[in-house]
Amino acid sequence: MKYNQGMALRNLLGCLVFSALALGCGKSKGGASSPELDKRCEALATACADTDKHVEKLGTECKETGKTQNEKGCSDAAVKLYNCYENAVCGTGDKVWALQDLKVLADRHKKCDAEQTALTTCMGK
């Protein structure tokens, strides 16, 4: 009888583990970025950076940051901010090599305040 109980317990545990894996329980989102955010990052980098090297650097940084933003459920806020950066900040004649450059320029030109606040608030949750 002990053998049957032990076997039943192992079967039950196996089913629970399988179910958890199938449902994604205990599994993180893996830090994946959203496809929409990745596209936005590529467009932002192309529009705002001044050389191919900086386009690649800005795009990579944006996508890496996007993984965390997506994981926290803030992709929509990030896309809105990056749209604002591209439309209101890029092309002002200042060189942009990183996301921080865009934030500094937006602050300097008093642009994208609402979008920056929305993303900061979302990320702080």
Model's pTM, two decimal places? 0.72
Structure-block tokens of residue 91:
């092309």
Helices (H), the chain: 2-23, 35-48, 52-71, 75-84, 99-108, 113-123
First-last CA distance in the chain: 52
Q: What is the pLDDT of residues 11-32, one digit of tens each?
A: 443 443 333 333 333 333 445 6
Q: What is the pLDDT of residues 73-110, one digit of tens each?
A: 999 999 999 999 999 999 878 888 999 999 999 999 99
Tell me the one-letter amino acid at 52: D
The Cα 39–Cα 98 span in angstroms is 17
User: Which stretch of DSSP H or E encloses residue 51?
Assistant: none
The Cα 124–Cα 54 span in angstroms is 29
- Tell me, what's the pLDDT at 32? 64
